[in-house]
Structure 1
Amino acid sequence: MDDAETPVAASSSPPSRDRFAPLWEPPPTSRRGRPPRVSRDQVVDAAVAIADADGLDAVSMRTVARSLDVGAMTLYSHVPGRDELVDAMVDRAYADLALPDADLSWRPALEQYAHGYWSLLRDHPWLLDLNTWRLPLAPHVFDAEEAAYRILLDTGLSGTRVVETVRIVNNTVAGFARAAAAEDADARAHGTDYASYWEASTDFWEHLFDPARYPSMTRLWSVGAFDSSSMPFDLHISGLLDTLELLIDRAQADGPAHIPTYEECMTHYDDRVADELHPPQP
């Protein structure tokens, strides 16, 4: 397999069983021949370390092999190619996500989940380069989704609104993380941190800014709305949670939506799966 091709963030091909099964099933142990020089976990950890340091584009079978001091062909006994390696990297990164306590009420649990996701993206910013609509079918990714849905499942929101709300929270957190990553990149490139950048713009505010042209900004400035110098590096979602609280209160007042219990779902689970996978022909 040629390792010189331009790396891509992830494959757009539909996932086959050969691609996702290794994420769920432990690799078979061979008792024949020499023991492998490196393990699959070592390969994945090395790839994650490269991506954390230099970005996802820096990860290739060759760079990972070089970091482990083995030949590239050694890696192919653990992962068939780069796409499968990236899948395993995502699963490994998501294993670091601190999931909220199941006993917490929805608001502190959702805030805890959001901060955990924020920390995940700050520790592994290369995750922001992936298409979140096509994350790998991986156990730790599913663990994160399960925890997020569980938080809102019995709040009275409809099933559709639960899924939409989790997506909104994820996208909000990712937006903050993406801005923070961009600020990190600018600070490295120009040697100027966030506070120093804005401190150096005093002349603009004194001589060029026109309060009459920007009255809304002026009014917000007058009450200190722009005073947080650490804004790119803090996660602020209290306003989002306040809005969600209003939606939940209204849903409960109107009559909470009924989402079947797990036991109710399982009574027809096999039939439902069969219908989804093999819909009746007209």
Structure 2
Amino acid sequence: MLIWERPEPAARSSLSPLSRDRIVRAAVGLADDDGLTAVSLRKVAAALDAGPMRLYRYVDTKEELLDLMLDAVYAEIPLPEPAEGDEGDEGDEGDWEASVRTLAHGLRGAALRHEWFADLLGGRPQFGPAALGHLEAVLAALRRAPGIADDDPNALMHALQAVNGYVFGAVRHEIVELRVERESGQTEHEWQAASGPYLRRLIATGRYPALAHLVTRGADQDPAAMFTAGLDVILTGLAAPSRPAAGGGRRT
């Protein structure tokens, strides 16, 4: 039985009372301070001044604990207001895009507060209530996008993969860069200054014209602006009305 269906044990009088909420908050604190490698049932028990065996009444495995931690962070992400009208109603034309932006930026903000969160994104589906609420909100917004063919679950899945693929990947990339800066003691601008002469020599060979175009003409953007610009590319495609496929069906 998944932990989401398993009732929490009844509270017991103790010098160090436990609950799943206390266990998860302690685990999140450890991960925030020292990453996921700092999280184990034994270390969480020590942080709560409790014996490790007591935690097994609430959580069976470390994997369950990670699921609970992930859901706790998803619960921090604000959900957009639901679109007016009945299910399947398109609602306001632009509200789907605003909703996707709200959810994407909310997820990025959560990852910047809890860097380990990025390490757990993707992979197997998450069935915690907050994670499912976030997924439902993303799907509800994408169903109203002009680029999603009417009642086409495959088109909806493709749109979800495109949005999540971008958001998860961009967030992970940003977190990795933050970690590299901390571990190397060198900021992005310092690294660019140090590697600049080598890159200019490569560009001067003429073998990398596309890279030269990007490096010499591209504007330097902060991470938030870069994230927004990349999201714009995805949403622009979804905003284009779907067109009939060659075989008479619909495609996005």
TM exceeding 0.5: yes
DSSP-derived class of the 2:133 partner: helix
5+ residue gaps, structure 2: 84-93
Say whether residues 1:230 and 2:242 are aligned partners.
no
Which residue is equivalent to 2:86? Answer: none
Map of 1:1-282 to 2, 5 A cutoff?
17-22=1-6, 25=7, 27-30=8-11, 34=14, 37-103=17-83, 105-130=95-120, 132-155=122-145, 156-157=148-149, 158-210=152-204, 212-222=206-216, 224-225=217-218, 227-231=219-223, 234-235=226-227, 236-246=230-240, 249-251=241-243
Over residues 138-164 of structure 1, what are the superposed CA-to-partner deviations in whole Å (9 max), with x where a residue is unaligned? 111110111011102244532211122
Q: 1:139 to 1:251 in 2, by over 3 A?
A: farther
Measured in 2, the distance between the counterparts of 1:233 and 1:42 equals: 36
Q: 1:36 to 1:63 in 2, by over 3 A?
A: closer
Measured in 1, the distance between the counterparts of 2:121 and 2:141 equals: 24
Q: 1:84 to 1:117 in 2, by over 3 A?
A: same
Measured in 2, the distance between the counterparts of 1:97 and 1:114 equals: 9
Over residues 198-245 of structure 1, what are the superposed CA-to-partner deviations in whole Å (9 max), with x where a residue is unaligned? 1223322444432522222223344x32x2252488413111111111
Which residue is equivalent to 1:271? Answer: none
Tell me which structure has the larger Cα radius of gyration: 1
Given that residues 16 and 50 in structure 2 are in contact (C-alpha distance below 8 angstroms), is that contact kept between their aligned partners in structure 1? no
Q: 1:234 to 1:214 in 2, by over 3 A?
A: closer
Over residues 152-177 of structure 1, what are the superposed CA-to-partner deviations in whole Å (9 max), with x where a residue is unaligned? 22445322111221122111111111
- What percentage of residue pairs aligned between the two structures are identical? 29
Q: Residue 19 of structure 1 aligns to which amino acid in structure 2?
A: I
- Which range moves more in the overlay, 100-109 or 231-240? 231-240
5+ residue gaps, structure 1: 1-16, 258-282
Given that residues 79 and 85 in structure 1 are in contact (C-alpha distance below 8 angstroms), is that contact kept between their aligned partners in structure 2? yes
DSSP-derived class of the 2:197 partner: helix
DSSP-derived class of the 1:237 partner: helix
Measured in 2, the distance between the counterparts of 1:133 and 1:185 equals: 22
TM-score normalised by structure 2 residue count: 0.80
DSSP-derived class of the 2:60 partner: coil
Q: Residue 198 of structure 1 aligns to which amino acid in structure 2?
A: Q
Q: CA RMSD in A?
A: 2.9
DSSP-derived class of the 2:123 partner: helix
Measured in 1, the distance between the counterparts of 2:127 and 2:53 equals: 26
Given that residues 112 and 175 in structure 2 are in contact (C-alpha distance below 8 angstroms), is that contact kept between their aligned partners in structure 1? yes
Deviation of residue 82 (structure 1)?
Answer: 1.6
Deviation of residue 112 (structure 1)?
Answer: 1.5
Deviation of residue 131 (structure 1)?
Answer: 6.6
